[in-house]
Amino acid sequence: METLTQSATIIQLRTWEDLYTEHLHQTYDAPATIEAAQQHVRVFIKWFENKFSQPFTPEQITNYALRQYQKESLDIARVSPNTWNSRLWGLTIFTNWIEATYGASFSNLITGLKNKEQGIRPSAYRSLSDKEIHDLMQQLERNIRGSASAFE
């Protein structure tokens, strides 16, 4: 009885996700940094697929899509400045990798996207209204005039 054996050729296809993950591991040492960068890309991809009703591939990314993502993140989802700045950091890493991997036609993807300033943080104290400021200043001026006449 003859046994035929075929050597199976295993072809391992690597996805862009695999290549990007490999890039992150080569670039960053801290697992938390790698996970944060991947998480920001996952959030963007989920938004992209919901917004444009198509599966995401790096070839489809545009500056327009990134600007729309920023606008919706800040104006509709109202993410905090820290969250947006962290997302922008992750997207910058991702778009730089896309440019290096897919070529110069993908340069400047992140152009026009900016960090969000912290602004004034809310406090337990509120600002005075114009009327309250007026009343306070009026009382202060009366007190000053009254004290000046007391020493005359």
Residue 108 makes CB contacts below 8 A (sequence gap 6+) with: 63
What's residue 123's pLDDT?
57
What's residue 43's pLDDT?
97
What's residue 1's pLDDT?
47
Compute CA distances 25 → 31, 45, 91, 94, whole Å: 8, 20, 16, 13
Q: What is the pTM of this model?
A: 0.68
Using the 8-state DSSP alphabet, how is residue 129 labeled?
A: P
Taking only the tens of pLDDT, the chain with its 152 residues reads: 444 455 555 555 689 999 999 999 999 999 999 999 999 999 999 999 999 999 999 999 999 999 999 999 999 999 999 999 999 999 999 999 999 998 877 888 888 888 887 665 555 666 777 888 888 888 888 887 766 555 55
Angle at CA 62, nearest 5°, toward 99 and 47? 110
